[in-house]
Structures are given as C-alpha cells and as structure tokens.
Structure 1
C-alpha cells in the first residue's frame, strides 16, 4: 500500500492553483472541469509520477469549522518536504509569503509554517542530517 493522493481544502481553486504552482513550484497533473469546480491535482516538479495533491473545494459545511479550528491552534493542514527550510523560508518570504512560524529546530528536523492564502497553514520540513 502507498499514498497516491492527499488533499487540502481551498477557498478558491483558481487562486490556489496559482499560489501552489507559481509560488510553491508544483505542477498541474489534472485540471478537469466538474461543474462549478475542477478535479485539480498537482504533483511535485521533482516527482511528476509521485503523490498527487488535490486542491479540494472547501464548499462542504464541515470544512469551515474544521479549518478554522486548525488555523486558530496553529496546526498545519499539510506538511511538505524541502531540502533546506531556511533557504525555502527566505525564497518564499521574498515572494511575499506570510509565515506564521519562522524556521525552528524541532529535534531531527527544521520546520516553518506559512499561510497558503487559501485558508490553510502549511508546514515545510527538512531533515537536519
């Protein structure tokens, strides 16, 4: 068994697509119109056949309270691996990304957390070894 897809709920798929591709560097794998929304999945530009990230519309009534509670407690909706948290923090900050947690030593990893502009906190992480 392996993880084939995971998702984050987003307020606006078009804005999310722009942020996740233009700022974070993901690539669109699927963008299939499905009525009001799309089946919109992304992949890492480093692993185009890897795990897909579904930018899931946040229209379901349970999503708002769930995401609000996570965000209020500073809990990331997802975590993405990067080579160097400090370098990625600097790159993203220069692009205007707002961090809620600057790079921090968390034992075997370095982590930082940012607001994805689409309703979520996202953590980046890199191994220190």
Structure 2
C-alpha cells in the first residue's frame, strides 16, 4: 500500500493552480472539468508519477470552519519536503510569498510555514 493522492481544499482553483505551479514549482498532472469545478492535481517535477496533490474545491459547508480553525491555530494543511529550507524560504520570500513561520531548526528537521493564498498554511520540511 502507498499514498497515491492527497488533497488540500482551496478557495479558488485557478488561483491555486497558479500558486502551486508558478510559485511553488509543481507540475499540473490532471485537469478534468467536473461541472463548475475541476479534478485538478499537481505533482513534483522530480517525481511526475509520484503522489498527486488534488487542489480540491472548498465549497462544502464544513470546509470553511475547518480551514479557519487550522489557520487560527497555526496548523499546516500539508507538508512538503525540501532539500534546503533556508534557500527555499529565500526563493519564495523573493517571489512575495508570506510566511507565518521562518525556518526553525528542531532537532533533525528544519521547518517553515507559508500561506498558500488559498486559505491554507503549508509546512516546508528539510530533514537533516
């Protein structure tokens, strides 16, 4: 068994697509129209056949309160691995990304937390 797909709820799929591809650097894998929404997934360019991230429409009534509570408590909706958290922090900051936590060293990991502009906090993790 392995993880094939995971998701984050987004406020606007077009905005999320731009952020996750143009800013974070993921590659669009699937873009299938489904009525007013899309089955929109992205993958790492380093592993195009790996785990997909579904940019899922957040229009279910439970999604708003759920996301608001996570953000209010500073809890990331997802975590992405990076090779160099400090370099990625600088690259993304230079692109205008807002971080709620700058790189922080904790034992064998360095983490940073960013705002994905679509209602989620995302953690970057560098394992040392």
Shorter-normalised TM range: over 0.9
Q: Distance in 1 between matches of 2:127 and 2:44?
A: 18
Alignment of 1:1-129 (within 5 A): 1-128=1-128
- Cα deviation for residue 19 of structure 1 reads 0.2
- Cα deviation for residue 107 of structure 1 reads 1.4
Q: Distance in 1 between matches of 2:73 and 2:127?
A: 24
Matched pairs, number: 128
Q: Distance in 1 between matches of 2:8 and 2:18?
A: 15
Q: Deviations over 1:13-44 (max 9, x none)?
A: 00000000000000000000100000000100
Aligned CA RMSD, in angstroms, stands at: 0.4
State the TM-score, normalized to the length of structure 1: 0.98
State the TM-score, normalized to the length of structure 2: 0.99
Q: Secondary structure at the match of 1:2?
A: coil
Q: Distance in 2 between matches of 1:53 and 1:127?
A: 21
- Cα deviation for residue 106 of structure 1 reads 1.6
Q: Distance in 2 between matches of 1:45 and 1:107?
A: 29
Q: Secondary structure at the match of 2:90?
A: helix
Q: Distance in 1 between matches of 2:39 and 2:74?
A: 28
